[in-house]
């Protein structure tokens, strides 16, 4: 026997041994081991989908990080089991008649883990942090509806400190140019823009908490070093001897701190010449507008010049105010009916100034973190696990059913599923089951489920390369979406609609009534406010070979010699399903339309860059919403100026419809208008929706009250483990 012949023999022997060891799927109701939890009924172990990039609510953006962040930091509202906002630090809120002012009334029982009460100022501080350029937060965009948020973030908003020329103290202005050059020109030249907020001390500056003694300083800025004023205590228009300044020192990892304003005695850009323009009434904080004023054209606002000494970038320019320690008021430029959906988001969860200032990049390390949520961070082992324990200072201890949560960082799907199988974790974060397992698990084990998810899988069309709408419509009509789940094997919901949601067939009777549909209506719908508001997206251009061919003929007639005989479909590597979809589209477009399609695969970041730059013809893409609102989360990607408009589709009728929706105050009437905008978009086919994403979930049978919802946000601390689950299995859960 030579080694060459021996190898297969041995390999076969190993395989037989593997089978003998019982590698087939286990019998029984549950997938793998169900460990006994009698000795740890208040400890949940979750297989999280990987290593969070951080734990700072102002800067993190991954769903992986959210699992920990939402346990560590409380919000004005938090996610309920359905994933919709419910009262937390705020007990109630009011919306102004023009839907542009939102007042949150907070209770006084909230405590940071260092014992300090959580106040409205902490919420305002978070807004400032997310938007201040020094934070460099990727989330800044999320607060764009607030008055002047984007302008402040771009360093182009200023408060007028005293009457000068045509400007009045308290005016908010937009910076057009400094010292004769526009901001863009400054940036293009690679130079730092002269900043009227920069100051220096002729003596060392002692950075400290507001009001603290010099001896308690945690940072010393040497004389002559630049610091940037972020905020002033009291009324910035009337500074006095007691006024303190909160400054940023760009040194090392950066440091923030308070110093008496008088210590900042050198102002290098007092004489810089700013060319500014007053903001429109709708963008001015504190200004209410009647519906007529809201739609009226802006009065002319001439550009004027002002000195750096008279201007400062301060939070007062933003649409956030704190009239008393337990009330916070937000103001948006346009009516923003979905504002409540921002109030539970990380970007509005307060963060503790005293901890952030001292270590801006590292304050969330276990030894320095200050938290406000039901759980506190006790340990963070990089790329291994995060340990959370019940916070002794949380204001609502009765709601906390767990003493401890362990989040394992497992970013490999097979590893996560295997680890769950062996009993290593009690639940797996959604979508961590490999596609190849799903068919074997679905319908067979009671601890496995597939639920809809607020995400849409689509093919985007680069409309500058394919300006003919008939051609685009033909491409959409030619795709039969129904077979997608059979070859993707994941329980996906085929759709031609753009806005994702729950399949109508799966809605409760009450929700059917709310949405005004019957159970046999095809498509999906999303519940935006339980019992109050439902959105049914317009039907898309679903499979219709006749219409596809008719549209194609129209395109051929209109385009003549420009008609493409052949197109390129591009997708990113790493996911088997993208390739399968590509091959399926290739087949459909060839068979129905006779078009030749080339497939191109690209590495992820290259793919992102190319699609962003319009360097593609048709490409796979996906969009996942933070909350179920077409106007707030899904349709903005088709606005002309949106950085997310990879389809490069810019349609005046759609723009007008979206603008019209913005001014409507009644939510239901507004939804009708939004639906019309979506209809205009989908009829023009810059996008070919293919399926609604689903989430796969594995949860041991003893796990109770771990919510399942469209956006996969669960209040983990409300879950609990039932050691006697076997006894309760057949009866109702206790």
Partner 1 sequence: MIRLIVGRVLMGVVVLWAVATVAFFALHAAPGGPFDDERAVPPEVMRNIEERYHLDQPIFTQYLHYLGDVVRLDFGHSMKRQQTVAEIIRHHAPYSAKLGLFALAIAISLGVLLGVLAAHRQNRLADHAAMTVSLIGISVPSFVMGPLLVMIFALGLFWLPPARIEGFTSYILPATTLGLIYMGTIARLTRSGMLETLRQDYIRTARAKGVSERGVVWRHGLRLGLLPVVTYLGPATAGLISGSFVIEKIFQVPGLGYSFVASITDRDYPVLTGVLVFYAAFLTALNLVVDIVYGVLDPRIRDRR
Q: Which is nearer to partner 1, 326 or 457 (CB)?
A: 457
Token pair belonging to 670: 């507004």
**Residue 11 interacting with partner 1 (CB under 8 A):** yes
**Residue 623 interacting with partner 1 (CB under 8 A):** yes
Q: How far apart are CA 548 and CA 477, in angstroms?
A: 5
Choose, by CB under 8 A, the member of 384, 510, 598, 705 that binds partner 1: 384
**Stretch near partner 1 under the rule CB under 8 A, chosen from 3-11, 370-378, 674-682, 691-699:** 3-11
Choose, by CB under 8 A, the member of 12, 17, 97, 440 that binds partner 1: 17
In the complex, the smallest distance separating the C-beta of residue 2 from partner 1, rounded to whole angstroms, is: 7
**Residue 316 interacting with partner 1 (CB under 8 A):** no
Choose, by CB under 8 A, the member of 21, 215, 241, 292 that binds partner 1: 21
Q: How far apart are CA 624 and CA 130, in angstroms?
A: 22
The alpha carbon dihedral of 619, 624, 363, 260 has a sign of positive
Helix (H) or strand (E) holding 74: none
**Residue 440 interacting with partner 1 (CB under 8 A):** no
**Residue 367 interacting with partner 1 (CB under 8 A):** no
Q: Which is nearer to partner 1, 487 or 604 (CB)?
A: 604
**Residue 608 interacting with partner 1 (CB under 8 A):** yes
Q: What are the C-alpha distances in Å from 449 to residues 453, 471, 550, 632, 698? A: 12, 39, 41, 29, 7
Choose, by CB under 8 A, the member of 622, 653, 672, 727 that binds partner 1: 622
**Residue 606 interacting with partner 1 (CB under 8 A):** yes
Choose, by CB under 8 A, the member of 70, 104, 125, 421 that binds partner 1: 421
Which DSSP letter does residue 590 get? I
Q: How far apart are CA 76 and CA 123, in angstroms?
A: 8
- Classified as helix, coil or strand, 549 is helix
**Residue 182 interacting with partner 1 (CB under 8 A):** no
Taking CB under 8 A as the rule, which mask of x and - marks residues 484-523 in contact with partner 1? Answer: ----------------------------------------
Half-sphere exposure (Cβ direction) of 641: Cα atoms closer than 13 Å: 0
Provide Rg for the chain, Cα atoms: 28
**Stretch near partner 1 under the rule CB under 8 A, chosen from 237-245, 435-443, 641-649, 674-682:** 641-649
The alpha carbon dihedral of 87, 90, 91, 95 has a sign of negative
**Residue 40 interacting with partner 1 (CB under 8 A):** no
**Residue 621 interacting with partner 1 (CB under 8 A):** yes
Choose, by CB under 8 A, the member of 362, 390, 556, 648 that binds partner 1: 362
Q: Which is nearer to partner 1, 54 or 707 (CB)?
A: 54
Token pair belonging to 380: 């963070």
Q: How far apart are CA 513 and CA 419, in angstroms?
A: 43
Q: Site for partner 1 (CB under 8 A): how many residues?
A: 70
Q: Which is nearer to partner 1, 239 or 423 (CB)?
A: 423
**Residue 575 interacting with partner 1 (CB under 8 A):** no
**Residue 303 interacting with partner 1 (CB under 8 A):** no
Q: Which of residues 49-88 bind partner 1 (CB under 8 A)?
A: 51, 53-54, 56, 61
Q: Are 33 and 423 spatial neighbours (Cβ–Cβ below 8 Å)?
A: yes
**Residue 609 interacting with partner 1 (CB under 8 A):** yes
| DSSP-H helix ranges across 85-199 | 120-131, 149-153, 183-188
Q: Are 503 and 452 spatial neighbours (Cβ–Cβ below 8 Å)?
A: yes
- Classified as helix, coil or strand, 90 is strand
**Residue 426 interacting with partner 1 (CB under 8 A):** no
Token pair belonging to 315: 């939070």
Q: Are 24 and 440 spatial neighbours (Cβ–Cβ below 8 Å)?
A: no
Q: Which of residues 230-259 bind partner 1 (CB under 8 A)?
A: 253
Contacts for 289 with CB less than 8 Å, ≥ 6 apart: 98, 100, 281, 282
Q: What are the C-alpha distances in Å from 470 to residues 307, 473, 552, 560, 594? A: 56, 5, 6, 13, 15
CB neighbours (10 Å) of residue 94? 10
Q: Which is nearer to partner 1, 156 or 329 (CB)?
A: 156
Q: How far apart are CA 635 and CA 236, in angstroms?
A: 39
**Residue 185 interacting with partner 1 (CB under 8 A):** no
Choose, by CB under 8 A, the member of 256, 419, 571, 589 that binds partner 1: 419
Q: Which of residues 94-153 bind partner 1 (CB under 8 A)?
A: 133-138, 140-141, 144, 150, 153
Which DSSP letter does residue 189 get? T
**Residue 436 interacting with partner 1 (CB under 8 A):** no
**Residue 566 interacting with partner 1 (CB under 8 A):** no
Q: What are the C-alpha distances in Å from 644 to residues 345, 388, 611, 640, 656? A: 20, 36, 10, 10, 19
Q: Which is nearer to partner 1, 140 or 536 (CB)?
A: 140
Q: Are 526 and 671 spatial neighbours (Cβ–Cβ below 8 Å)?
A: no
Chain contacts with partner 1 (rule: CB under 8 A): 1-3, 6-7, 10-11, 14, 17-18, 21-23, 32-33, 51, 53-54, 56, 61, 133-138, 140-141, 144, 150, 153-154, 187, 190, 253, 361-362, 364, 381-384, 408-412, 414-416, 418-419, 421-422, 424, 603-606, 608-610, 612, 621-624, 643-644, 646
């Amino acid at each position: 026997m030579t080694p060459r012949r021996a190898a297969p023999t041995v390999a076969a022997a190993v395989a037989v041994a593997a089978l003998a060891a019982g590698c087939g799927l286990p019998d029984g109701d549950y997938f793998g081991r169900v460990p006994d939890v009698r000795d740890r009924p208040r400890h949940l172990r979750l297989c999280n989908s990987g290593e969070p990039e951080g734990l700072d609510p102002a800067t993190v953006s991954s769903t992986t990080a959210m699992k920990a962040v939402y346990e560590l930091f409380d919000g004005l509202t938090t996610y309920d089991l359905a994933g919709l906002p419910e009262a937390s630090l705020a007990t109630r809120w009011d919306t102004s008649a023009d839907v542009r002012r939102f007042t949150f009334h907070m209770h006084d029982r909230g405590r940071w883990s260092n014992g300090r009460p959580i106040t409205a100022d902490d919420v305002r501080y978070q807004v400032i942090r997310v938007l201040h350029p020094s934070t460099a937060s990727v989330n800044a965009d999320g607060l764009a509806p607030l008055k002047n948020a984007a302008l402040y973030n771009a360093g182009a908003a200023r408060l007028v400190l005293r009457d000068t020329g045509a400007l009045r103290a308290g005016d908010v202005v937009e910076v057009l140019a400094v010292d004769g050059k526009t901001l863009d020109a400054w940036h293009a030249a690679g130079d730092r823009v002269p900043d009227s907020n920069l100051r220096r001390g002729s003596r060392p500056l002692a950075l400290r908490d507001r009001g603290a003694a010099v001896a308690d300083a945690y940072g010393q800025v040497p004389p002559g070093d630049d610091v940037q004023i972020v905020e002033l205590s009291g009324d910035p228009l009337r500074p006095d001897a007691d006024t303190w300044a909160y400054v940023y020192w760009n040194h090392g990892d950066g440091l923030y701190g308070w110093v008496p304003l008088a210590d900042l005695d050198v102002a290098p850009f007092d004489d810089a010449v700013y060319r500014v323009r007053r903001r429109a009434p709708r963008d001015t904080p504190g200004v209410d507008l009647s519906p007529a004023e809201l739609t009226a054209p802006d009065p002319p606002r001439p550009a004027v010049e002002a000195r750096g000494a008279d201007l400062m970038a301060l939070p007062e320019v933003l649409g956030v105010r704190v009239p008393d320690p337990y009330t916070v008021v937000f103001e948006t430029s346009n009516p923003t009916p979905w504002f409540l959906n921002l109030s539970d988001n990380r970007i509005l969860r307060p963060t503790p100034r005293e901890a952030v200032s001292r270590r801006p990049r590292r304050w969330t390390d276990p030894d320095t973190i200050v938290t406000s949520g039901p759980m506190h961070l006790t340990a963070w082992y990089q790329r291994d696990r995060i340990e959370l324990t019940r916070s002794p200072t949380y204001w609502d201890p009765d709601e906390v059913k767990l003493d401890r949560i362990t989040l394992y960082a497992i970013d490999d799907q097979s590893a996560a599923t295997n680890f769950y199988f062996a009993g290593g974790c009690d639940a797996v974060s959604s979508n961590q089951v490999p596609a190849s397992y799903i068919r074997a698990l679905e319908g067979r084990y009671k601890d496995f489920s597939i639920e809809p998810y607020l995400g849409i899988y689509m093919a985007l069309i680069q409309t500058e390369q394919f300006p003919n709408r008939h051609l685009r419509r033909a491409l959409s009509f030619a795709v039969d979406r129904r077979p997608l789940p059979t070859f993707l094997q994941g329980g996906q919901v085929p759709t031609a609609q753009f806005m994702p949601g729950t399949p109508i067939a799966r809605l409760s009777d009450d929700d059917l009534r709310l949405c005004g549909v019957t159970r046999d209506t095809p498509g999906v719908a999303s519940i935006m406010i339980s019992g109050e508001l439902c959105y049914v997206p317009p039907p898309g251009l679903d499979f219709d070979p006749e219409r596809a061919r008719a549209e194609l003929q129209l395109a051929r007639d209109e385009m003549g010699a420009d008609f493409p005989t052949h197109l390129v479909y591009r997708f990113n590597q790493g996911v088997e399903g993208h390739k399968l979809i590509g091959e399926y589209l290739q087949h459909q477009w060839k068979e129905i339309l006779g078009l030749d399609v080339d497939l191109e695969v690209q590495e992820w970041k290259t793919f992102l860059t190319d699609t962003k730059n319009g360097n593609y013809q048709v490409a796979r893409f996906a969009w996942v919403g933070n909350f179920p609102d077409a106007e707030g989360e899904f349709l903005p990607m088709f606005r002309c100026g949106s950085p997310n408009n990879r389809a490069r589709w810019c349609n005046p009728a759609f723009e007008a419809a979206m603008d019209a929706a913005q001014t409507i105050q009644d939510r239901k009437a507004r939804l009708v208008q939004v639906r019309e905008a979506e209809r205009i978009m989908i009829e023009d086919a810059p996008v070919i929706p293919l399926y609604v994403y689903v989430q796969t979930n594995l949860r041991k049978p003893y796990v109770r009250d771990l919510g399942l919802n469209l956006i996969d946000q669960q209040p983990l601390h409300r879950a609990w483990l039932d050691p006697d689950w076997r006894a309760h299995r057949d009866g109702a859960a206790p």
